[in-house]
Amino acid sequence: MASDKVLSVISRTYSKIAFWIAIAGIITAFMGLLLTVTKHYGNTVCIINRLLDGEAPNVIQSCIQSSGIRIINIITYMHTNSYAMMLQDIGFILFGIAAIMGIIVTVIMLYTRRKINFALIASLIMIVLILSALGLISINM
């Protein structure tokens, strides 16, 4: 009984930390979006119009490439790209970290409560999140 209370306090504290990391990620990504709109207005309108039309990602990427930004790898991307886009990426990274932190707690709590089926599904989701955050898996359209 005492261990359930300790786990409950730990999970609440951990979830609050993950929550605030997610909020920081959202704010950072939003600030990057605002800076992008003010700096690359024409390209942003192109991107937004393509997104609203439901275009494929390669068509949307043509709006980015028309501005002269060439994404070769992450090192050249960070050196040649604007601070606004880097702020967006940092925000997405923070939000991804918060999601992974939240799923880790979920997996631990499900295993301790002997809900093995749900714990296995949550573990699979956690693995997919981590692999996609590392760039090892992606969806190509």
Contact 13, 118 (CB under 8 A): no
C-alpha 16/C-alpha 24 separation (Å) is: 12
pLDDT number for residue 2: 59
Number of Cβ within 10 Å of residue 88's Cβ equals: 21
pLDDT number for residue 43: 66
| Tens digit of each residue's pLDDT (9 = 90 or more) over 6-33 | 777 777 787 788 888 888 888 888 888 7
What b-and-e string marks burial along 75-87, b requiring 16 or more CB atoms within 10 Å of the CB? eeeeeeeeebbeb
pLDDT number for residue 6: 76
| Tens digit of each residue's pLDDT (9 = 90 or more) over 37-71 | 666 545 667 777 787 788 887 777 777 666 555 54
**The model's pTM:** 0.57
